[in-house]
């Protein structure tokens, strides 16, 4: 793919990734979020954080399966979008759900384990977002890779946050657990080489 057409696709992906946030905004403006709009906003932004986390984790498998390296050039943007949706989710919880009542927030952190785990996931995402620039990649060298492997731990704690939050119907968290297992299993070295007919030389 030429540099020009890749830049075009990258811009398209950038706009596409903004759509969930715009749809949430549209829901607010047109009063389309149901009887409890604050809960809907917190929950939907949480869903999108998890989805973007998984999309980011899919990049490596996609590169391996297709043999195309341009996927990797989308990874930083997708990772930053994960952080953007996580920040939105946390801000909506703090600003709208808790209305900046810090006592209640601290109480939640200590008394509701799913909030504690969510906070841990968010705090672990911060160093990854901060070190996502080319300058930091160069400066940290091999440590950059080590640090960014934390994404696997984050994905586990994020799914756990969702699982612990759900009280009765755990079907949706189980779907995420299943997808995450596949995404993580893909990282394991295979004892045999599976031929992929669409990949040259595989």
Binding site residues, ligand HEM, CB under 6 A:
39, 42-43, 46-47, 49-50, 53, 86, 89-90, 93, 97, 115, 118-119, 121-122, 125, 158, 161-162, 165
Residue closest to ligand HEM, measured at CB: 46
Least Å distance between CB 6 and ligand HEM? 29
Residue 159 tokens read as 């799914």
Least Å distance between CB 22 and ligand HEM? 19
Nearer to ligand HEM, 74 or 161 (CB): 161
Nearer to ligand HEM, 62 or 94 (CB): 94
Nearer to ligand HEM, 65 or 96 (CB): 96
Least Å distance between CB 92 and ligand HEM? 9
Q: What's the per-residue H, E or C state across the chain?
A: CCHHHHHHHHHHHHHHHHHHHHHHHHHHHCCCCCCCHHHHHHHHHHHHHHHHHHHHHHHHHHHHHHCCHHHHHHHHHHHHHHHHHHHHHHHHHHHHHCCCCHHHHHHHHHHCHHHHHHHHHHHHHHHHHHCCCHHHHHHHCHHHHHHHCHHHHHHHHHHHHHHHHCCCCCHHHHHHHHHHHHHHHCCCCCCCCCCCCCCCCC
Nearer to ligand HEM, 64 or 148 (CB): 148
Nearer to ligand HEM, 65 or 165 (CB): 165
Least Å distance between CB 81 and ligand HEM? 12
């Amino acid at each position: 793919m030429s540099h020009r057409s890749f830049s075009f696709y990258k811009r398209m992906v950038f706009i596409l990734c903004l759509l969930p946030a715009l749809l949430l905004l549209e829901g607010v403006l047109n009063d389309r979020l149901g009887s409890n709009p604050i809960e809907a906003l917190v929950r939907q932004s949480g869903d999108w954080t998890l989805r973007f986390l998984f999309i980011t984790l899919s990049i490596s498998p996609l590169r391996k399966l297709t043999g195309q390296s341009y996927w990797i050039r989308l990874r930083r943007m997708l990772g930053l979008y994960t952080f953007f949706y996580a920040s939105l989710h946390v801000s909506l919880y703090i600003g709208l759900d808790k209305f900046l009542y810090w006592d209640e927030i601290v109480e939640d952190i200590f008394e509701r384990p799913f909030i504690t785990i969510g906070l841990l996931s968010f705090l672990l995402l911060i160093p990854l977002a901060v070190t996502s620039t080319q300058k930091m990649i160069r400066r940290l060298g091999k440590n950059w890779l080590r640090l960014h492997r934390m994404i696997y731990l984050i994905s586990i704690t994020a799914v756990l946050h969702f699982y612990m939050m759900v009280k009765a119907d755990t079907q949706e968290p189980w779907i995420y657990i299943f997808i995450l297992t596949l995404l993580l299993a893909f990282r394991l070295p295979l004892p045999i080489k599976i031929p992929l007919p669409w990949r040259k030389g595989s």
